[in-house]
Structure 1
Amino acid sequence: MSIPAARQRFALEIQSEPIDLGRAALWIAQEAYPDLEVEEYVAALDEMAAEVQERLPPERYPLRVIKILNHYLFEDLGFRGNREDYYDPRNSFLNEVIDRRTGIPITLSLIYLELARRIDFPMAGVGMPGHFLIRPLFAGAEIFVDPFQQGEILFPEDCQELLSQIYGPGIPFQEHHLRPTPPRLILVRLLNNLKQIYLSRAELEPALAAAERILLLIPESLPHLRDRGLLYYQLGRWQQACQDLKRYLKQAPFHPEINRSDEHLIREIVERLESHLDSC
């Protein structure tokens, strides 16, 4: 089966460090929108950043810069969180978020990060459980920005309260929840969102496409290897399914953090596949 051109470009993009988040996210989108012109959207981000640059004062106090970014994105351009249809796949495609001015926390944060990078204002993504924030990277700047809430500024205790609102007291707040998320893992989270959305709709081919790109980013991830193998199996791609699932079974015992409650089921699937295939 031939590899889509957008997948090949994505694979090349993520080989560079640091990863260009905007371009990588647009290559993800191009697989769903083959006519998408990536450079047009990169230019749109450049233009937005140039407009922000013109508004900046000579002395760039962090809170002042954040206020200007918030006003430009959420008041002038009208970006907003899509609460009406949160699980619409379009919310995870950067071109759609730019065109429609609506998205989910991670894609709105991605746009915010791309503008901040272009104006030399250091910020990083923060992949909290259930929500995505960004934070300025300045000494002593213990504040966070929530693009899904129109750029609301949060303090660590607000983030703790947010986690409690999402999950209740079941997930205790920990300091690592507020650590910066590397660009590679931001893309993993974006693709995992897409994978879960497509799985919930029983759209297996696009779910598989997301799983395959996740493994380009983190090839040693056993949970995602297992998921890809199961998707191959459901789609009748038995040779590939057998290879993934056998590799998963072989490596899982050496990863104590892996929940192996599914091991019996996966072993049964592998045995079934081996009975139908000459070699696996």
Structure 2
Amino acid sequence: MTSALERLNELVRGPDQDLDLAEAALLLATTEYPALDVPAYLAQLDELAARLSERLPHTADLEQRVVSLNEFLFEELGFSGNTDNYYDPRNNFLNEVLDRKLGIPITLCILYMEIGRRVGLELEGVSFPGHFLVKFATDEGDVVLDPFAGGVPLTEEELVDRLEDTYGQHRIDNSALPQLLAAASKRDILVRMLRNLKVIYLHHERFEKALDVINQILLIGPELAEEVRERGELYERLECHRSALLDYQRYLRLEPQAPDLADIRNRIIALEPTAHRLN
């Protein structure tokens, strides 16, 4: 029988367009929930989409499908953003979002995209600064939606206001918006979700759990130098000196002109005697 890790590796090694985002998100959750029944949760998504599809007219256009999706998820089923406990780690696990009907922007977007895909909506994730969003294309241009706020559409002015809130600037150049609204790959979505979780675990000094999350990130993106360096720092903190040394060396191979080159070299020099004694 294929393990969750083997199946996840199979998914992320294939073409991005073929990656099942919901399945990958659920497989990632098995590190925290080893007994998680991934097929059962995928069947739940199918069932929700089937219920929504039954009430959609065959002639429903994109806008009508979006309105129906919003009404179904947020009004009828009661999914919402967890504003009361935003940094609860459970908000980052799709199974918990389905069970508790609470999430953060990125997990609600994954839910939104996956239900939408099943009813014929071609939705894309948007790694907007500070707040993950979704969009879909129309003849008049892209429409950007915020599932965390019930799937409301956002105007250009509202998007600029959000940028100003994020960066603390009074004037944002609107010409930057198209780049910031570019579609995120499915791998990028998974990595951003995991980075949210990593930050929470690090804040609470749950270093072993943070290490598990970084290992998942590097399964998806082995070339992410910043994650390799951060894993090295965690290994060093946990006194896994040889593993820390190997990650620092790998980091410099990935980033030979790294801005923290001198610091990492010093760490390598300090770790080498201890690491070699452990061989």
Report the TM-score, using the length of structure 1 for normalisation.
0.91
Q: Which residue of 2 aligns with 1:80?
A: 80
SS, match of residue 255 in structure 2: helix
Preserved contact between residue 245 and residue 275 of structure 2 (Cα < 8 Å): no
SS at match of 2:184: coil
CA contact (8 A) 1:124 1:137 kept: no
Q: Distance between the aligned counterparts of 2:51 and 2:128, measured in 1? A: 30
For 1:82 and 1:93, locate their aligned partners in 2 and report how far apart those are by CA, in whole Å: 13
The worse-fitting range, judged by mean Cα deviation, of 161-170 and 183-192 is 161-170
Shift of 1:53: 0.7
1:101-250 aligned within 5 A: 101-169=101-169, 172=172, 174=176, 175-250=178-253
Gap runs ≥5 in structure 2: none
User: Residues 171 and 132 from structure 1, CA distance in 2 versus in 1: closer, same or farther, beyond 3 angstroms?
Assistant: farther
RMSD: 1.9
Q: Is the 8 A contact 2:92 2:107 kept in 1?
A: yes
Give the Cα separation in 1 of the matches to 2:59 and 2:224. Answer: 44
Offset at residue 124 of structure 1 (A): 0.2
The residue type equivalent to 1:159 in the other structure is L
Which 10-residue stretch deviates more, 10-19 or 31-40? 10-19
1:6 counterpart = 2:4: yes
Instruction: Report the CA distance between 1:135 and its aligned residue.
Output: 0.5
Aligned length: 272
Alignment of 1:21-36 (within 5 A): 21-36=21-36
Helix, strand or coil at the partner of 2:86: coil
Question: Could you tell me how far 1:160 is from its partner in structure 2?
Answer: 1.6
Aligned to 2:275: 277
Paired residue secondary structure (2:129): coil
Matched with 1:97 is 97
Distance in 2, matches of 1:125 and 1:99, equals 22
Letter in 2 for 1:214: I
| Residue 186 of structure 1: how far off its partner (Å) | 0.2
1:142/1:155 contact within 8 Å kept: no
For residues 48-101 of structure 1, give each alpha carbon's deviation from its aligned partner in whole angstroms, at most 9, with x where no partner exists: 111111121222322211110000000010000001111110000000000000
- Structure 2 Cα separation of the partners of residues 53 and 112 of structure 1: 14
Q: Structure 1 CA distance, aligned partners of 2:152 and 2:125?
A: 15
SS at match of 1:153: strand
Normalised to the residue count of structure 2, the TM-score between the two structures is 0.92
